[in-house]
């Protein structure tokens, strides 16, 4: 397992009521789903781990609270607003959308 997967497993064992439900396959699957949801954009590791933990809870069929659902949507929104990195030369690709306004108060 990668260091990120080990961090996710440790976090899940701290947070969940039944740590025996957590196995290596669920951890790997949840982290892969989180990376896919963020389109492999370079977001902060803590946000990626939080998103992966929420995916882990859903994979274990644990119902998310309203707060967790809002966090899930906010992390995905943050990832969408993050510029992607060009893998060829390491430059940052910015996409500019004209005519679109956003409020900081919208969730």
Domain-wise residue ranges, the chain: 3-93
Given a cut of 90, whether residue 24 has pLDDT beyond it is: yes
pLDDT for residue 26: 95
φ/ψ (deg, to 5) at 80: -65, -35
Q: 3-class DSSP state for residue 13? A: helix
Neighbours of 68 (CB within 10 A): 16
Indicate the length of the chain as a whole number: 107
pLDDT for residue 105: 73
pLDDT for residue 41: 85
Q: Write the pLDDT tens digit of every residue in 53-97.
A: 999 999 999 999 999 999 999 999 998 888 776 655 655 555 545
**pTM, full prediction:** 0.78
> In sequence order, what are the residues at sequence separation of 6 or more whose Cβ sits closer than 8 angstroms to the Cβ of residue 103?
none
Hey, what are 96's tokens? 């500019």
Burial 21-35 (b: 16+ CB within 10 A, else e): ebeeebbbebbebbb
pLDDT for residue 93: 55
């Amino acid at each position: 397992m990668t260091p990120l997967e080990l961090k996710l497993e440790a976090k899940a064992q701290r947070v969940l009521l039944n740590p025996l439900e957590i196995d290596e396959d669920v951890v790997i699957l949840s982290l892969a789903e989180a990376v896919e949801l963020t389109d492999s954009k370079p977001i902060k590791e803590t946000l990626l781990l939080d998103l992966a933990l929420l995916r882990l809870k859903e994979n274990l069929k644990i119902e998310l609270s309203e707060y967790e659902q809002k966090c899930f949507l906010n992390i995905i929104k943050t990832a969408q607003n993050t510029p992607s990195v060009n893998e060829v030369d390491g430059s940052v690709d910015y996409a500019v959308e004209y005519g679109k306004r956003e409020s900081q108060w919208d969730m």
